[in-house]
Amino acid sequence: MIRHSKTQTCLIYGSALILALLLLLPVLWLFIMSISSTRDLTSLPLAWIPTEASFGNYRDLVSNLDSSAAQSFLYALRNSLIVALCATGLSLLASIPAAYSLSRLPGKRRRGLLFAAIVTFMMPPVAIVLPLYSLMATLGLLNSHFALIAIYCGILVPFTTWLLKSNFDAIPMDLDEAPIIDGANRLQVIWHITLPIAKPAVGAAALMAVLMAWDEFFYALLFTNDIRAKTLPVAIADFAAGRVADYGLISAAGIMATIPPVLLAYFLQKSLVSGLMSGSVKG
Amino acid sequence: MTGLSLKNICKSFGDLEVIRNVNLSIDPGELVVFVGPSGCGKSTLLRMIAGLEDITSGEFWIGDKRADHLPASERDIAMVFQSYALYPHMTLAENIGFPLKLAKLPAGKIRQKVKTIADTLHLDELLDRKPGNISGGQRQRVAIGRALARDPKVILLDEPLSNLDAALRLEMRAELARLHKQLASTMIYVTHDQVEAMTLADRIVIFDKGEIAQIGSPLDLYNRPANTFVAEFIGSPKMNLFPASLHQTDRNKAKIRLKNTTYDLDTDGLTGDILDTAITKNRGETIKLGIRPEHLHFSSEGGLRGEIRNIEHLGSDTYIHIETEAKADVVVRSNGISALRNGETVGLIPGPGMGHIFDQQGIRVT
């Protein structure tokens, strides 16, 4: 065990505390805003602690289905879930075999492909958004889940492929050859051996992919225009775009929008536990 | 039980030729050991037999079926990897049963087979554990168990004992010998350890730079090495090779004179036509006389004189290093503990018929 001096310990804990505050204070402030009244939020000087706490904003968002706020929030939640989960699922379906092939099979051209993948990932969205828009318009796909899922897959596949490839690289080659000698084909190797061993990596890739799709704003803003396809980031932005911005409502929607990814992270956390590799090869 | 045959097998990686013209046939039920220094191509050849590497040219037959174009999964060959390659997320029972699961056997049958194998390998208590929670020797057993599960035609073992400590290696070696007798299956065993090769093999194939240097039973290789490479590789400490020259003394007799000395040796066993050819071919050339350390004896007078430079006591044996005019470091192995001291001058005499004569290219003469 490494021993630290008292100063070192203080510094480490101090830094950790500052980091925690930096991460948590905005969320805390968002929460305070969401339970404050409009009067508190607009008064000068600003009332940091609300005079009266109320969960009315949350009620407005989920229970009162006739209100336009609730409608746009709940539809957006549904759209976000559909788009993020489908895009993640499809991306993993494509990137798992792709990553396996890039990691395991021989061939010089594969390397080129890998770099092509990262180049598309690096490309700024503004560069391709116009041709994409006209393409989607021609196909009649604007304002649909399908358009967003397809675009997000384009973003996620290179990313998850890279992430998974570097993890598959760490699995010893013998663990590929042994099942083949045992009578497995490549797909069976992936299913029975590679995926269970790389479960933490797949979990991490899925989580990152969901978060990226969940938070994506630029394409969602441009390619959707009503509650049929608008996702949460766009819907929340809409709350701020009217003549009067209801900051309490916006904050409540923000808090609610973070709940699904946080839940997902909580459940995937179990699969993120690594250390599965111990004992497979050598001693 | 099935035999294997390899005909003119070659393998190159780009311009690099790693296996040259290997011809070998393995009988059903035989345990053949591939042995050689690292980089000699023995593991590559094993991987080619398994189907993990392509064959550049040549033919490979399993029984009477040509197999060099069959994928690994269809060859019905099992392999034990040097690293064991156990599946870390499966229990030992699942590991052993995995080939059977792939073959779509009913679960009941798999369980039964796994149990039989676990009994043979003394693993029955551990079947619910994962590979991370057992010892190296047990992992080795599981790897062997997985190879046995399908009752494969041939079992390949790639340096299976090299990750074990010395005591365990000895134990597993005996166990492997027992298993081979019990199963009577065809096995190919790759190792760089000549002791494993000598103790386990029905036949040994020695590789040198991608070619077969010699094939034979362990004692064949020890008693009649085909060339200086095999002569030095088999036996520990390795054979002493003296530079020498061949001189005809009579019509049917010749003597070998060690370089830089006046010490002559009889060429027992070297007579008739063989002697004539040997003399014509090697007239005036430096040949090699090989004598194993255990076949050199001390004499107070005569023999090849030299001074003792170093003595290694192993308890059961003593290795004595002697500097002579003919060869700078001659090793003698004597049983038990020797009373000789550093700096003493001694004479060396080989046991009768214990000299091996190799020509200038290093090929055995008789």
Q: What is the pLDDT of residues B153-182, one digit of tens each?
A: 899 999 998 888 888 888 889 989 998 988
CA pair distance B24, B21, nearest whole angstrom? 10
Tell me, what's the ipTM? 0.83
CA pair distance B104, A77, nearest whole angstrom? 44
Pull the structure tokens for residue B248. Answer: 């005809």
* pLDDT for B88: 93
The answer to whether residue B345 sits within a structural domain is yes
Same-domain pairing of B259 and B181: no
Burial of A127 (0-12, 13-18, 19+ CB in 10 A): exposed
Q: B102 in contact with A at a CB cutoff of 8 Å? A: yes
The answer to whether residue B366 sits within a structural domain is no
From B178, B210, B233, give the residue that closes a domain.
B233
Indicate the residue of B52, B82, B88 with minimum beta-carbon distance to A276: B88
The answer to whether residue B303 sits within a structural domain is yes
Same-domain pairing of B296 and B315: yes
* pLDDT for B229: 94
Residue pLDDT, tens place only, B33-52: 999 998 899 999 999 999 99
Pick the more confident residue, A54 or B21: B21
Pull the structure tokens for residue B192. Answer: 């760089």
Same-domain pairing of B113 and B179: yes
* pLDDT for A2: 67
* pLDDT for A278: 38
Residues of chain A contacting residue B105, judged by C-beta atoms under 8 Å apart: none
Same-domain pairing of B78 and B116: yes
Question: Are B332 and B340 a contacting pair, CB within 8 Å?
Answer: no
Residue pLDDT, tens place only, A43-99: 777 777 777 778 888 888 888 777 778 888 889 999 999 999 999 999 999 999 999
Locate tokens 């895009």: which residue?
A: A87
- Say if strands B154-158 and B77-80 run parallel, antiparallel, or are unpaired: parallel
Q: Among candidates A146, A7, A160, which has minimal Cα distance to A96? A: A160
Same-domain pairing of B225 and B255: no
Q: Among candidates A254, A197, A210, which has minimal Cα distance to A32? A: A254
**Structural domain for B141, as ranges:** 4-233
Taking the alpha carbons at both ends of chain B, their separation in whole angstroms is 37
Q: What is the mean pLDDT of residues B24-28?
A: 94
From B233, B253, B276, give the residue that closes a domain.
B233
- Say if strands B4-13 and B317-324 run parallel, antiparallel, or are unpaired: unpaired
CATH number of the domain encompassing residue B254? 2.40.50.140
Same-domain pairing of B245 and B298: yes
Domains of chain A by start residue, with CATH: 1-54 (no CATH), 57-268 (1.10.3720.10)
Number of folded domains that form chain B: 2
Burial of A195 (0-12, 13-18, 19+ CB in 10 A): middle
Residues of chain A contacting residue B136, judged by C-beta atoms under 8 Å apart: 282-283
Same-domain pairing of B147 and B168: yes
* pLDDT for A192: 95
Same-domain pairing of B88 and B70: yes
SS (HEC) of chain A: CCCCCHHHHHHHHHHHHHHHHHHHHHHHHHHHHHHCCHHHHHCCCCCCCCCCCCCHHHHHHHCCCCCHHHHHHHHHHHHHHHHHHHHHHHHHHHHHHHHHHHHHCCCHHHHHHHHHHHHHHHCCHHHHHHHHHHHHHHHCCCCCHHHHHHHHHHHHHHHHHHHHHHHHHCCCCHHHHHHHHCCCCHHHHHHHHHHHHCHHHHHHHHHHHHHHHHHCCHHHHHHCCCCCCCCHHHHHHHHHHCCCCCHHHHHHHHHHHHHHHHHHHHHHCCCCCCCCCCCCCCC
Residue B269 pLDDT > 90, yes or no? no
Residue B289 pLDDT > 60, yes or no? yes
The answer to whether residue B363 sits within a structural domain is no
* pLDDT for B295: 92
Q: Among candidates B106, B92, B196, B197, which has minimal Cα distance to B145? A: B92
Same-domain pairing of B225 and B245: no
* pLDDT for A271: 64
Measured over the CA atoms of residue B90, residue B43, residue A104 and residue B11, the dihedral's sign is negative
CA pair distance A1, B250, nearest whole angstrom? 81
CA pair distance A92, A99, nearest whole angstrom? 10
Measured over the CA atoms of residue A171, residue A172, residue A174 and residue A177, the dihedral's sign is positive
* pLDDT for A283: 38
Sheet harboring B4-13: ordered strands across? B16-26, B4-13, B57-62, B65-66
Question: Are B18 and B12 a contacting pair, CB within 8 Å?
Answer: yes
Residue B274 pLDDT > 80, yes or no? no
* pLDDT for A86: 96
Q: What is the mean pLDDT of residues B198-215?
A: 94
Locate tokens 């002791």: which residue?
A: B195
* pLDDT for A12: 94
CATH number of the domain encompassing residue B175? 3.40.50.300
Average of per-residue pLDDT values in chain B: 90
Candidates A180, A274, A280, partner chain B, best to mutate (most B CBs within 10 A): A280
The Cα of A174 is separated from the nearest Cα of chain B by a number of Å equal to 6
Q: Among candidates A179, A201, A176, which has minimal Cα distance to A96? A: A201
* pLDDT for A112: 84
Q: Which residue of A lies nearest to B73 if distances are taken between CA atoms?
A: A183
* pLDDT for B61: 93
SS (HEC) of B289-341: EEECHHHEEEECCCCEEEEEEEEEECCCEEEEEEEECCCCCEEEEEECCCCCC
The answer to whether residue B127 sits within a structural domain is yes
The answer to whether residue B211 sits within a structural domain is yes
Q: b/e map of A149-163 (b: 16 or more CB within 10 Å)?
A: bbbbbbbbbbbbbbb
The answer to whether residue B273 sits within a structural domain is yes
Element (H, E) at B94: helix B92-102
Q: B87 in contact with A at a CB cutoff of 8 Å? A: yes
* pLDDT for B277: 77
**Tens-of-pLDDT digits for all 283 residues of chain A?**
567 788 999 999 999 999 999 999 999 999 988 888 777 777 777 777 777 778 888 888 888 777 778 888 889 999 999 999 999 999 999 999 999 999 988 877 888 888 888 888 788 888 889 999 999 999 999 999 999 999 999 999 999 999 899 899 999 999 999 999 999 999 999 999 999 998 888 988 898 899 999 999 999 999 998 888 899 999 988 887 766 678 888 899 999 999 988 888 888 776 665 534 434 444 3
Q: Among candidates A27, A148, A159, which has minimal Cα distance to A91? A: A159
Same-domain pairing of B256 and B210: no
* pLDDT for A282: 42
The answer to whether residue B365 sits within a structural domain is no
Q: B351 in contact with A at a CB cutoff of 8 Å? A: no
From B203, B233, B263, give the residue that closes a domain.
B233
Indicate the residue of A183, A276, A280 with minimum beta-carbon distance to B103: A183
Q: What is the mean pLDDT of residues B56-74?
A: 91
| Sequence letter at residue B301 | E
Residue B252 pLDDT > 80, yes or no? no
Same-domain pairing of B215 and B247: no
What's the pTM value of the predicted model, to 2 decimals? 0.81
* pLDDT for A273: 56
